């Protein structure tokens, strides 16, 4: 049963510590909330406290809340958010936005909150279907409400190349042109100015953009644009189907490395965040020897440009430079390579497909999505733990969790939202909330509150039968 009155703990992700003061409430206006949000965004707060109507935002080094933590106090006379860093104030305001939803009446008490993991990611595949700058920003606006702090953009694949690379214009002229994307339905690309726009918008919201250029496989769009990159120099045909594993850069060709170096230098220069994602997955048409030889030359490049490499976990077959991050994506419970990488001191992002892949169908009747990793109903996305999933991967080795959304079957923003909600909030809670603070029955009740909010905001979502959604 859903309670009738709002509770201080009715927040996703569940805060680390909630101390309600049930006799107390404080009513805020939507304007005060918006002013608090604007104050954090504008960076107006430096070291002094800022008063935004009835909401006080304060920087305080005294609180041991870390880079993203905050302390929120709601009394009968007002609201205070305190944090060591602006990011913490921002997440505190996101908590307030959730608590104030609807009537603006905030339940009294104190919340002390900080994330379990530094990396809480969502991935959007722009290659199989392109999404515009405005669409990416609007999606980001929905993600940050759940304290997601990394936006991974899958920028290239067999069906499309979505980022301008100076000196290699045909990548985007052809690879981003008409007829690209799955079924030819997703043309478009980001200029470097567009990319900078997305990166800046994300940074204002304390979100780090993680760009991915997938290599040495998943490169048909690049080979179409530049036949000199193919093994025999002969042109290859564009592909708009959803097959994987048939294309590869050529490990034994110097042209390959000139190309990769330009691409990664461009990406490093355009990306203020610390990570460059090099893909590395499903290289079924690259020999094991070529795969290792290719990565031996390419994995050190992010370091050369002051960045850390992330790769899908197949890269663990190569020697991983210090600082390399391995992103686990398979459904299996074991992976010898990831275990060895962790033993060598590398860190891991967990994205097991049977739990975190937002492109898996919810149930057999889901119109969109795939089912190769099984069906992923909401409870399946929620009820697991990243530190208990893969042999050898412990809490200390985890950078965090991420939920990828591959876009083979997507044709619109509504499609993106439908697969994202309500599963992304489940993964976001896994990334933020302490293990002991997570509980499916509690999540079920809390996520139900978002149904009316998503409807009011025109956000498409799956009315999962596992959830008692309030009747409209
Ligand atoms: C596997 S996950 C892929 C992608 C597909 C996805 C579809 C991964 C690293 N590679 O190329 O889009 O499955 O679910």
Residue whose Cα lies nearest atom 2 of ligand 1: it is: 329
pLDDT classification of 385: cutoffs 50, 70, 90: very high
Number of other residues whose CB lies within 10 A of the CB of residue 269? 10
pLDDT recorded at residue 49: 53
Tokens of 156: 């290239």
pLDDT recorded at residue 5: 77
Residues 340 and 342: their CA atoms lie apart, in Å, by 5
pLDDT recorded at residue 312: 98
Taken in order of first residue, the domains within the chain and their CATH numbers are: 17-113 (3.30.379.10), 119-457 (3.20.20.80)
pLDDT classification of 6: cutoffs 50, 70, 90: confident
* Residue 408 Cα: closest atom of ligand 1: 12
Window from 26-30, 111-115, 246-250, 455-459 with minimum mean pLDDT: 26-30
Window from 33-47, 70-84, 175-189, 285-299 with minimum mean pLDDT: 33-47
Interval 345-357 mean pLDDT: 98
The pTM of this model reads 0.96
pLDDT recorded at residue 315: 98
* Residue 128 Cα: closest atom of ligand 1: 12
Residue 40, pLDDT above cutoff 80: no
Interval 408-433 mean pLDDT: 98
In contact, 118 and 85? CB cutoff 8 Å = no
> Would the CB of 246 count as within 6 Å of ligand 1?
no
Interval 411-430 mean pLDDT: 98
Residue whose Cα lies nearest atom 9 of ligand 1: it is: 281
Catalytic residues, by residue number, are: 282
Residue 45, pLDDT above cutoff 60: no
**Can you give the length of the chain in residues?**
472
Residue in 281, 285, 360, 368 to alter for ligand 1 test, most ligand atoms within 8 A of Cβ: 281
pLDDT recorded at residue 53: 65
> Would the CB of 328 count as within 6 Å of ligand 1?
no
Question: Mean pLDDT in the chain?
Answer: 95
In contact, 182 and 241? CB cutoff 8 Å = yes
Output the DSSP codes for 42-104.
HT--SSS-EEETTEEEEE-SSS--TTT-EEEEEETTEEEEEESSHHHHHHHHHHHHHHHTTT-
pLDDT recorded at residue 369: 98
Among positive and negative, which fits the CA dihedral 454, 455, 458, 461?
positive
Residues 301 and 278: their CA atoms lie apart, in Å, by 10
Residue 50, pLDDT above cutoff 80: no
Interval 425-454 mean pLDDT: 98
pLDDT recorded at residue 470: 94
pLDDT recorded at residue 47: 42
Outline where DSSP puts E strands in 273-342: 275-277, 308-312, 325-328
Q: Identify which has the larger pLDDT, 62 or 210.
A: 210
Biggest CA-to-CA distance, the chain: 76
Residue whose Cα lies nearest atom 12 of ligand 1: it is: 406
Residue 48, pLDDT above cutoff 90: no
Residue 409, pLDDT above cutoff 80: yes
> Would the CB of 242 count as within 6 Å of ligand 1?
no
Q: CB-based burial of residue 453 (10 Å sphere; 0-12 exposed, 13-18 middle, 19+ buried)?
A: middle
pLDDT in tens, 92-149: 999 999 999 988 999 999 999 999 999 999 999 999 999 999 999 999 999 999 999 9
SS3 content of the chain, % helix, strand, coil (to 5): 35, 20, 45
> Would the CB of 357 count as within 6 Å of ligand 1?
yes
Q: CB-based burial of residue 383 (10 Å sphere; 0-12 exposed, 13-18 middle, 19+ buried)?
A: middle
Window from 94-103, 145-154, 312-321, 373-382 with minimum mean pLDDT: 94-103
Tokens of 339: 């275990």
pLDDT in tens, 234-291: 999 999 999 999 999 999 999 999 999 999 999 999 999 999 999 999 999 999 999 9
pLDDT in tens, 140-196: 999 999 999 999 999 999 999 999 999 999 999 999 999 999 999 999 999 999 999
């Amino acid at each position: 049963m859903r309670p009738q009155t709002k509770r201080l703990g009715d927040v996703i992700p569940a805060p680390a510590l909630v101390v309600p003061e049930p006799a107390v409430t404080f009513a805020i206006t939507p304007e005060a909330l918006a002013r608090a949000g604007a104050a954090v965004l504008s960076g107006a707060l430096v070291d002094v406290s800022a008063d935004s109507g009835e909401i006080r935002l304060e920087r305080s080094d005294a609180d041991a809340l870390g880079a993203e933590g905050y302390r929120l106090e709601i009394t009968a006379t007002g609201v205070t958010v305190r944090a060591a860093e602006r990011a913490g104030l921002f997440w505190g305001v996101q908590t307030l936005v959730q608590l104030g939803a609807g009537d603006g009446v905030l339940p009294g008490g104190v919340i002390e909150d900080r994330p379990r993991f530094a990396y809480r990611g969502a991935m959007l595949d722009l290659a199989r279907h392109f999404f515009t700058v405005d669409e990416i920003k609007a999606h980001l606006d929905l993600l940050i409400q759940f304290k997601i702090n990394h936006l991974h953009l899958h920028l290239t694949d067999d069906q499309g190349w979505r980022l301008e690379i100076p000196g290699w214009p045909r990548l985007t002229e052809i690879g981003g042109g008409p007829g690209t994307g799955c079924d030819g339905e997703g043309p478009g690309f980001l200029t470097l100015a567009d990319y900078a726009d997305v990166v800046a918008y994300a940074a204002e919201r304390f979100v780090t953009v993680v760009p991915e250029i997938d290599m040495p496989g998943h490169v048909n769009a690049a080979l179409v644009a530049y036949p000199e990159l193919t093994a025999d120099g002969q042109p290859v045909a564009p592909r708009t189907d959803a097959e994987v594993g048939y294309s590869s850069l050529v490990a034994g060709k110097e042209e390959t490395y000139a190309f990769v170096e330009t691409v990664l230098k461009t990406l490093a220069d355009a990306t203020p965040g610390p990570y460059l994602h090099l893909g590395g997955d499903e290289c079924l048409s690259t020999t094991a020897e070529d795969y290792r030889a290719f990565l031996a030359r390419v994995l050190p490049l992010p370091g050369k440009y002051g960045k850390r490499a992330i790769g899908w976990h197949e890269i663990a077959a190569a020697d991983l430079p210090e600082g390399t991050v391995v992103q686990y994506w398979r459904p299996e419970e074991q992976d010898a390579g990831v275990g060895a990488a962790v033993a060598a001191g590398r860190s891991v992002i967990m994205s097991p497909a049977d739990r975190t892949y937002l492109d898996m169908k919810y149930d057999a009747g889901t119109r969109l999505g795939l089912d190769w990793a099984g069906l992923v109903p909401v409870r399946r996305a929620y009820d697991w733990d990243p530190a208990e999933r893969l042999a050898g991967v412990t809490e200390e080795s985890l950078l965090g969790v991420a939920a990828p959304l591959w876009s083979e079957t997507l044709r619109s923003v509504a499609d993106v939202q439908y697969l994202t909600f309500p599963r992304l909030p489940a993964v976001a809670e896994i990334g933020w909330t302490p293990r002991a603070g997570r509980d499916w029955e509690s999540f079920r009740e809390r996520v139900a509150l978002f149904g009316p909010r998503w409807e009011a905001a025109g956000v498409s979502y799956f009315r999962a039968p596992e959830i008692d959604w309030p009747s409209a």
